[in-house]
Amino acid sequence: MSTHGHSTRDRIVDALMELAAERDWDRIEISDVAERAGVTLLEFREAFPSKGAVLGSFNRRIDQLVLGNDDKSLSDESTRDRIFDVLMRRFDALSPYKHALKRMAPSLARDPLTLAALNQAALNSMRFMLAAAAVETEGPVGAIKLQGAVLAYAKVMDVWFRDEDPGLSRTMAALDEELKRGGMVINRLEDLERMTQPLSGALHRMFERGMAMAKKDRAAHRADADLDPSI
């Protein structure tokens, strides 16, 4: 596996991914990673607090590769096609590390703390992936889009692990199916959001009006108290 860069952080990321291709995740010690990277434990500690943090840096590396190859020619395509292109480019960027990722997946699935941290990292990555596909991710529906995209990508990754076709036909079919299913859910949620917006606006205005009246009543009570010492 070729070295991505020459910085201490890059060498540590490369070392971890090399070791992950050779042995189970829970058998990789930080001292093993430091030795493979040619750094001291002090240098490792100054660069990363844990193996999970190294994975986070690897995730950002993949983000950079995908975002650095943005295809502006797809701007006129459908939303689903744009997302499909971005996520397939992500699989392309991950391809040199496929064996390592496949080998570490079962161990990571048994580690809830690492899984929670990786889910947050995946959400951050997916926010940029969807932005690259010109998909809005703010607000309540946006949050559902992000988590849904993370879960869908994880499901497709399981197919990718077993897909031996150089053209990734099974992976593409699985991704297309997940995007189709997710799009139907998002459309329903967006319809629901549009339907409830007038009600939400009315409730917000009623709340603000009630707060203003309560504030006015408190001011009037204070004024009465100033005038009448018996209050």
**pLDDT average, residue stretch 113-119:** 82
45 and 58 share one domain: no
Of 154, 186, 165, 21, nearest in space to 87 by CA: 154
The 3-state secondary structure of 160-212, one letter per residue: HHHCCCCCCHHHHHHHHHHHHHHHHHHHHHHHHHHHHHHHHHHHHHHHHHHHH
Calculate helix-pair angle for 112-132, 79-94, nearest 10 degrees. 130
Q: How confident is the model at residue 2 (pLDDT cuts 50, 70, 90)?
A: very low
Q: What is the pLDDT of residue 108?
A: 87
Cβ-contact 33, 44 below 8 angstroms: yes
Residue 61's CB is within 10 A of a number of other CB atoms, namely 19
Last residue of a domain, one of 49, 74, 89: 49
Question: What would the pLDDT profile of 47-81 be if each residue is shown by its tens digit?
Answer: 999 998 999 999 999 999 999 987 777 777 888 89
194 pLDDT above the threshold of 80:
no
- Quote the number of domains for the chain: 2
Q: Regarding predicted confidence, which is higher, 152 or 225?
A: 152
CATH no. for residue 18?
1.10.10.60
Q: In percent, how much of the chain has pLDDT > 90?
A: 55
Q: How confident is the model at residue 197 (pLDDT cuts 50, 70, 90)?
A: very low
Q: Which residue range forms the structural domain that includes residue 113? A: 52-231
Q: What three-state secondary structure class fits 72?
A: helix
191 and 101 share one domain: yes
Q: What is the pLDDT of residue 66?
A: 95
Question: What would the pLDDT profile of 30-50 be if each residue is shown by its tens digit?
Answer: 999 999 999 999 999 999 999
25-53: buried (b, 16+ CB within 10 Å) or exposed (e) per residue? Answer: beebebebbbebbebeeebbeebbeebbe
